[in-house]
Amino acid sequence: MTFEITDERQTFCWLRMRLEPKYRVVAEPDASYYSEHKFCYRVYDGEKLLREFRGDFRTLVPQTLLSAARALVGQLESQGAIAAKNSEAKAVDATNSPTEKRLIASRLVPLRQQQTYFSSGRAAFTWLIRDAVRPKRVWLPTFVCWSLIEAMQQRFPQTPLMFYSVDRKLQSQWPNGTEPGDALVYLHYFGHRSEEPDVSSECILLEDVSHQLIPRVNVAGSWRFGSLRKTFRIADGGVVQGLHSPVYEPEDGLSTWLRGCSRDWRDLREAENMMDRGWRVSDMSSQSLAQMLASDPSRMAEQRCSNQRFLQAHLMVGEPLVRFREDEVPLLHNILMPDTESRNSLRSFLASRGIFCSIHWPLHPVLRNSVSADSEDAAWLESHVLSIPVADDFDLSDMTRIVEATREWSEAGR
């Protein structure tokens, strides 16, 4: 993906994005101080110089460089399709480029990690669909957060959105109608590790690790993405596994600002609403990144597991939705209540005691109105599930409060 060039000072980056890797675009800047306005850009086909753009931005006649660059790109595109490689392949090419000797200089290419950060999970997902995968169709589970469906509706209304069923035990019924070029998203619900999809080998797998505090080893051939706000106490953040070079969209960051200075749940809810109204494929904030990198996932995992085990042993209402394995880290403790009325009653009672629980997930209208998707079990889960916090911010005394409040509710006759 490239950007729409609006300023001639963007020319070099624009040429590199449009022409590489089939062609090579090289800058030959003047290395002396106070020469930042001078430019020299060369375009090569192998070792053959195709075009040189040279000048000084201070004396440049407006639109001349931009027009010349666009003309060159148009000419090369008319001669044959420019080779398409995704940004991951470009990054691999760059990191594997041979070097005879280590450079000694004050300015070196920055070190990078094998993660690329975004402002949210839906931004990471959107970048994958738009710039890396470009699928023919996208498959989502029927039991899924609204954000992925909304991202598809807002950004890719022309891309067919398909669904495969998830049952009441969170077992996926993998579709048998996938085709080459399809992308299938699968989740690890609430930290419980899912099986790898059993679908056509030519189907592109997108692994959503939003609920995994410590993801397992990456599955070969799978793209991995997720929301970091689900597992870390940060204002924003999403991630795509791998070293990529996205062009971020501009964003005012106000929803992140509001989360950071929230007074209570109302501010937090308004911040969520602000992001839902309008979000961008933008970068993660430095504050959130710094907080996440300063966290200790091993300690967090230990506390979450301890909290979840306590609730599973002492909670006398409902049935656990998930039986976590020893090596899994729970995101939430989900219980299934016998009916919607008792679930809602318990939820209200806990809220009156300062314990706020959520519902994962209300069925999206697209699924509720669909005649082709079997979302019966997803709708049943919506009506019976209650999600209780077990985050590492809480300890045994907090879990005891939850247990005692549920006992009080039960003894009061609901």
- 346 and 337 Cβ atoms separated by less than 8 Å: yes
| The residue type at 288 | S
Sheet order of strands, 48-56 included: 24-27, 38-45, 48-56
User: pTM for the whole thing?
Assistant: 0.90
Q: What is the distance between the alpha carbons of residues 412 and 414, in angstroms, rounded to a whole number?
A: 6
Q: Which of 85, 79, 78, 62 is nearest to 9 (CA)?
A: 62
10 Å Cβ neighbour count for 119?
Answer: 28
Q: What are phi and psi of 412, to 5 degrees?
A: -80, 0
Query: Which pLDDT belongs to residue 23?
Result: 95
Quote the strand ranges of 28-89, DSSP E: 38-45, 48-56
The two three-digit tokens of residue 65, written as one number: 């460089």
Q: What is the DSSP letter of 28?
A: -
Cβ neighbourhood burial of 295 (10 Å; 0-12, 13-18, 19+): middle
**Strand partners for 41:** 27, 53
The answer to whether the CB of 212 falls within 8 A of the CB of 226 is yes
Q: In 214-313, at which residue ranges do the beta strands (DSSP E only) sit?
A: 222-227, 238-241
Where in 321-383 does DSSP place strands (E)? 332-336
Instruction: Collect the ranges in the chain with pLDDT lower than 50.
Output: 83-92, 94-95
Where on the phi/psi map is residue 46: left (φ > 0), alpha (ψ -120 to 50), or beta? left
Q: Quote the CA–CA distance of 377 and 165 in Å, as a whole number.
A: 8
Query: What angle, rounded to 10 degrees, do the helices at 376-384 and 340-352 form?
Result: 40
- Tell me the three state secondary structure of residue 225: strand
Residue 45 β-bridge partners: 48
DSSP structure class, residue 129: I
Inter-residue contact 129 to 138 (CB < 8 Å): yes
Find tokens 């062009």 and name the residue.
247
pLDDT number for residue 294: 96
State the DSSP H helix or E strand holding residue 162, giving kind and residue range, or none if neither.
strand 161-166
Structure tokens at 345: 């009653």
CB 238 within 8 A of CB 118: yes
**How far is Cα 20 from Cα 43, in angstroms, rounded to an integer?**
10
What does the chain come to in residues?
A: 414
- Written as one letter, the residue type at 18 is R
pLDDT for residue 87: 45
Alpha-carbon distance 346 to 363, whole Å?
21
Q: Calculate Rg over the CA atoms of the chain.
A: 25
Q: What is the pLDDT of residues 263-296, one digit of tens each?
A: 988 899 999 999 999 999 999 999 999 999 999 9
pLDDT value of residue 161 = 97
- CA–CA separation, 151 vs 280, rounded Å? 10
Which residue type, as a one-letter code, is found at position 42?
R
CA dihedral (217, 326, 141, 213) positive or negative:
negative
